[in-house]
Structure 1
């Protein structure tokens, strides 16, 4: 699975890589400087050693009054490996004295004062005043390379700790630096048609203040567009109420005056159409109120009283009497921070949906448990899961022949969300093999 692009990941990789590159470049420069300084230090020690040894050996030979041409003397020392080896040679190039780790063969260097390099050694030559004896001190080039190599490794070792420490430090710093962006993202995520308040940009860094200003301009345009849409919907629905009611009354009167026949049948059809049109106008008015964000409230109210009143209204209506059963748990209450009118719209839509689309031979059941969960259950065949997921969308209806606008569940879901709750649709209903259930949970 391909990972999503991440600014933090890119910055951590870029900054860590840059740091490592600079560190390696510094090590390379440091190695060059160290190599130069080591060469100076070793050359100085080599030259000083040659001068001191030559003086001591000449003095020792003079005291013994021995001829050094009689053979090669070996100076035995306890060291198993000498960093500096030397040979004392006469003017003919013969070795008359050497250290125990030195080669018995003459060094590959001319008998001339100064330094000379061969493939494996750097040799310094010093001579007596009469040029009768020559002291040659050799330093293995491998010793110098080893010193430089060990120094370089010592500089590289901190990278083992520095890389993970740098990644953690950069991640921590970026987390704090990007915190305003995350805050802005959360603020933007809360914006919807019910929350179009401008984003506070005073505490934001100057780099992202233009984003906040652009979002606020966009929100202002959306507010204007939504307000215009709501006003149009509300005004249209409100203005349609009176003429629809008048036309419905006239149609009903006309239907009563006509005798049985084709004309009366058409009048009844017109009456049914006007009833549906009036219901649609009412739904549009409710939708405009839902879009305006009427659900939230800063005052607590006992919504169980509202629920009892709504059920009693259906019981008093001759068309729905006996079709709604209210089954509250003993002692159940529903004290919530919600607008009572908005809650009434939700429950009327859910009950109306149950009565219109449920089994006409079975009453709808409204229940309230002690946890505050409201369930509206109706009979009927189970709804497919694919169809169930789309019932909360506007103008979306299930497979039914009943009249309706397809707005009731969308309005209820919108208002419940504004209250901070959830509307869950289930089919078949809980503990049933068929039917439909709308379950409302509001936060305490």
Structure 2
């Protein structure tokens, strides 16, 4: 659900979506403006055409009406023209009137009531009609031809519909075409974004810029310059950390050796004091080792570009602990069938993680108790040891620096913090559980890579 919400949020802010909406909106606005402009031009042209037809009809009717009225001069009532097939929807109607306004002759649709317009040559508008008036030279007879404005509006409306209908197809077609075009043209940006998104403390390979458009090459070039500087900075920090570890171990080891010799030579009353000095130097050596490991973890030691098999490294570390006085005879190492521990992880970082977790298990468990190290099929490394149940709030703080649980064993409180930091750099998880899964007591550390 969270992934779907994140995808929807990303789509809402997508350049493709924004470009599609913007370009489609511009297309629709331009098309609507074109329709409006077209309708305005059509209205002028239709008016001109209809007015032309109206004037020509009136001028052609005038001599016919005059001749007809001369033949019917004895008639005193308005005459109605006869039609073979009467039409219920006449486009043009006319009336012939004398100079007093009396209707002498009219078409079927015009009626005997005079048009409510003055007897003046030219065009006149009423709420429902446009009328053209023409007359004889002596203004004795006027012919008025009327055109219904409804017909003009219908013609304009049908023309507008003809222009608007393509918009129904144009909008989805534009969305589809613009989406495909922008997606294709923005594909180099997506590729560059994906490559940059993969860069982290362990993947600092240069971004490929050969296939990029000329507009994006400066971005890729700047990113590559930054990556080179980061690689150089990380290498310098790692080299400094390694050198510091060596330089610190040597004087501390020399001081510890001198103290041990001194304790063997001093009188009995000074042996306890020299033993305390020896213990302090041993604690200092362990603390320096942990601090240097923490420094290496913070320097981005965890991830490398190539995958390596971590199973031999794990076996070597377990064997090393089995040969030590602390872990002799206590290690149970089990590897399930079909295990694959190929990971893009630094061997040194993985060794530091396993050593710290195993050392924590050996130190904080009863003497001579067994330590189970199991590598599961999914690649998860489970390390279990005997221990009392730890309270949840204490358990949650064990991966904090210098935080120790309820124990009297020696330690600096940095081992699990270092392990967690390196595992997170390796894109994995360090899960602590107390009691161990399926048990009522014990302590379990799961390394998931």
TM-score bracket for this pair, using the shorter chain length: 0.7 to 0.9
Cα distance between partner residues in 2 of 1:166 and 1:23: 12
Q: Which moved more, 1:68-77 or 1:21-30?
A: 68-77
Q: Distance in 2 between matches of 1:185 and 1:218?
A: 15
1:422 corresponds to 2:404: no
User: Is 2:247 the partner of 1:206?
Assistant: no
* TM-score scaled by length of structure 1: 0.82
Distance 1:358 1:371, change over 3 A: same
* 1:383–1:436 CA contact under 8 A, matched in 2: no
Matched, 1:180 2:188: yes
Task: Give yes or no for the alignment of 1:323 onto 2:333.
Answer: no
Aligned equivalents of 1:358, 1:86: Cα separation in 2: 117
Residue 57 of structure 2: aligned partner? 49
Aligned length: 434
Question: For 1:253 and 1:270, how far apart are their aligned partners in 2?
Answer: 12
Q: Secondary structure at the match of 1:70?
A: coil
SS of aligned partner of 2:179: helix
RMSD value, Cα: 3.6
Cα separation, 2, equivalents of 1:191 and 1:407:
28
Contact 1:91/1:132 (8 A) holds in 2: yes
**Contact kept? 2:419, 2:430, Cα under 8 Å:** no
Change (3 A) 1:406 1:165: farther
1:109 is aligned to 2:117:
yes
CA separation in 1, counterparts of 2:305 and 2:222? 30
Task: Look up the match of 1:307.
Answer: 314
Mapped to 1, the partners of 2:22 and 2:264 lie a distance apart of 84
In the alignment, structure 1 residue 73 sits paired with structure 2 residue 86: no
**Aligned-residue offset at 1:427:** 1.4
Asked if 1:14 corresponds to 2:22, the answer is yes
Residue 216 of structure 1 deviates from its aligned partner by: 3.0
Which 5+ residue runs of structure 1 have no aligned equivalent? none
Cα distance between partner residues in 2 of 1:107 and 1:173? 61
Segment of structure 1 superposing worse, 3-12 or 215-224 = 3-12
Kindly indicate whether the alpha-carbon contact (under 8 Å) linking 2:98 and 2:140 is maintained by their aligned counterparts in 1.
Answer: yes
Name structure 2 gaps, 5 residues minimum.
none
Please say if residues 423 and 438 of structure 1, whose CA atoms lie closer than 8 Å, have aligned partners that are also in contact: no
Residue by residue, what CA displacement relative to the aligned partner does 1:172-199 show, whole Å, maximum 9, x if unpaired? 3333333323222222222222222332
User: 1:151, CA displacement in angstroms?
Assistant: 2.6
Determine if contact 2:353/2:418 at 8 Å carries over to the other structure: yes
Please, which of 26, 36, 39 is the counterpart of residue 28 of structure 1? 36
CA displacement at 1:152 relative to structure 2: 2.8
Give the structure 2 partner of residue 171 of structure 1.
179
For normalisation by structure 2, the TM-score amounts to 0.81
Q: Deviations over 1:46-81 (max 9, x none)?
A: 12222333344445455xx32264211223552223
Question: What pairs up with 1:43-442 in 2 under 5 angstroms?
Answer: 43-61=51-69, 65-67=71-73, 69-75=75-81, 77=83, 78-128=86-136, 131-258=139-266, 263-283=270-290, 286=293, 291=299, 293=301, 296=304, 301=309, 303-329=310-336, 331=337, 333-334=339-340, 336=342, 343-358=350-365, 362-378=369-385, 379-382=387-390, 384=392, 388=396, 391=399, 395=401, 397-401=403-407, 402-405=409-412, 407-409=414-416, 412=419, 422-428=428-434, 429-442=436-449
Greater Cα offset, 236-245 or 84-93: 84-93
Contact conserved, 1:234 with 1:284, CA < 8 A, in 2? Answer: no
